[in-house]
Structure 1
Amino acid sequence: MKTNLMYGFLVGALCLAPLFAPAEEPSDRVTAAGQVFKDLSIASSGLPINVLNKADCVIILPSVKKASFIVGAQYGKGVMVCRSGANFNGPWGAPIMMQSSGGSFGLQAGGQATDFVILVMNDDGARSVMKGRAKLGAETSIAAGPVGRDAEASTTATMQAQMLSYSRAQGVFAGVSLSGTSLGPSDDDNEKLYGKKISAQEIFAGDVKAPPSAASLLSQLRRISPKNLAKGK
């Protein structure tokens, strides 16, 4: 009986999840991602520039919604921007539209919108996400990132992780573990953004130009972190 009841709640939560998915067009989410990055790059307690300078890619999921009805479910869409080139050591390239999903059991109340930022720290982590729905903490290692403009990845866990993750809710920015979250490209949104069917790998390879909505985000990335200091020349 309890199993059937829990199953019913789970089905109900999954049916309601689309109601909490972002309704904006892909270009709007690219613009929103640019604003999130701007806010966190200038805050003294925000994104660590020293760590960003060693990252291959940045993933920004603005306003991820969390619904709760016994079973908590979260679903979000956003953008991944990677440094170009086979070794991720070139200029920042065109954005790849992403989607995330995850769930947690337990009594929860209310819902909130949270911005998530993930720094992808090595090639394997970047390629794993581009290929499809990677489960963070399983296919790729992830840890809560250090906070503050001058912060460094100082612990063994953060230095060895393929990804470092952060959240911002109600103005508070902090490192957070996103282990268990599934993350991968949104083929439908990439088609809408670029006007044709195109894979994440093709976008990364430079087969399309960045859309106008990405101008702010890309200009900030190129200004603040023009080179991948982990790769040298």
Structure 2
Amino acid sequence: MLTRSNPLATQLAVLLLSCAVTTGAVAGERQDARLLTSTQVLSELMRMPEQNIPTWLLERAYAVAVIPSVIKVGLGIGGRRGKGVLVVRKDSGAWSNPTFINLTGGSFGFQVGVQSADVVLVFTSKQSIEGIVGGKVTLGADASVAAGPIGRQSSAATDIGLTAQVYSYSRASGLFAGVALDGSAITIDGSSNESFYKKPGILASEIIRSDAPAAPPPADQFIAAVKHSATGAAPAAPAHTPAPAAPTEAPASTANSADQGGVQTYPMEDPHPGQEPPQ
């Protein structure tokens, strides 16, 4: 038996589908923006010679996380929350595709006010990374954390014992320094990973695999920023810079003029082009 379609139901279905498509597009833009902001934060910090993360520490990192604009709210009991990205060093030494993460935490004591800060975490142990890939790691409980050294505070790895599994940094109001993040939890942002990689239910372990497909374009810039920070190298320059051309022989009239009293003059335009110059 044929039934008449309900125009209202049809319109509602079209509206819901349009909302779903729009929501997916907006979500993808949010992940792109998070990657670009994280790239900018890391690049700016490494351009501060006296206040940056020591290269020798980044060279030993198993993973690096950047969480821009972490909001810290204090009203009796403080709390913080932010969204960022994390890359893991592969066995080959290259960096993995970025995994989207959340940072949440609380602190007790009398606090008033709201503050926004950029946070960078340097992981120096495999155990701490395994915890995050597993879904969650609490700094100070699952992985020891300490405020990281900055700038020229230490010129060599032997000057400071790498006793912590995670070193944390914060930039607020233009100041960059190590910061204590005990009690903060890092969790995988599953919805952002699904939206960015266009794969429902994708796991962090799939994203960081050595044989994982290349991530979408916005990830390239962040991975390059981490690589340059860890090696202390600037972005690649052109492979060959042409040598300056050898100076050509000065015109006779110019050379002769230069010999007279050391003053160099320049000839006027030839009023009779193509003819032999007068003797």
The TM tier, using the shorter chain, reads: 0.7 to 0.9
Residue 113 of structure 1 aligns with which residue? 116
CA distance change for structure 1 residues 57 and 185 in 2, over 3 Å: closer, same or farther?
Answer: same
Is the partner of 2:42 in helix, strand or coil? helix
Matched, 1:40 2:72: no
Residue 202 of structure 1 aligns with which residue? 206
Encode CA deviations 1:7-53: one digit per residue, 9 max, x unaligned. Answer: xxxxxxxxxxxxxxxxx712211111100110111211112111101
Question: How far does residue 150 in structure 1 lie from its aligned partner after superposition?
Answer: 7.2
Encode CA deviations 1:40-81: one digit per residue, 9 max, x unaligned. Answer: 112111121111011011011100011233221111110001
Distance in 1, Cα, partners of 2:124 & 2:79: 27
Question: How far does residue 207 in structure 1 lie from its aligned partner after superposition?
Answer: 2.6
Residue 61 of structure 2 aligns with which residue? 55
Distance in 2, Cα, partners of 1:220 & 1:38: 6
Residue 252 of structure 2 aligns with which residue? none
Question: Over aligned residue pairs, what C-alpha RMSD do you find?
Answer: 1.9
Question: How far does residue 133 in structure 1 lie from its aligned partner after superposition?
Answer: 1.6
Residue 268 of structure 2 aligns with which residue? none
Does the aligned pair in 1 maintain the 2:70–2:81 contact within 8 Å?
Answer: yes
Does the aligned pair in 2 maintain the 1:93–1:210 contact within 8 Å?
Answer: no
CA distance change for structure 1 residues 223 and 131 in 2, over 3 Å: closer, same or farther?
Answer: same
Q: Which protein is bigger by CA-based radius of gyration?
A: 2
The number of residues matched between the two structures is: 199
Q: Which residue identity is paired with 1:199? A: L
Trace 1:6-155 onto structure 2 (pairs within 5 A). 25-44=30-49, 45-85=51-91, 89-148=92-151, 151=154, 152=156, 154-155=159-160
Question: How far does residue 166 in structure 1 lie from its aligned partner after superposition?
Answer: 0.6
Is the partner of 1:107 in helix, strand or coil? strand
Distance in 1, Cα, partners of 2:228 & 2:185: 31
Distance in 1, Cα, partners of 2:171 & 2:81: 16
Distance in 2, Cα, partners of 1:180 & 1:67: 15
Normalising to structure 2: TM-score of the pair? 0.67
Distance in 2, Cα, partners of 1:74 & 1:160: 25
Distance in 2, Cα, partners of 1:147 & 1:182: 23
Residue 182 of structure 1 aligns with which residue? 185
Is the partner of 2:71 in helix, strand or coil? strand
Distance in 2, Cα, partners of 1:92 & 1:150: 27
Distance in 1, Cα, partners of 2:205 & 2:81: 23
Residue 215 of structure 1 aligns with which residue? 220
User: Which runs of no fewer than 5 residues in structure 2 stay unpaired?
Assistant: 1-28, 233-279
Normalising to structure 1: TM-score of the pair? 0.79
Q: Which residue identity is paired with 1:225? A: A
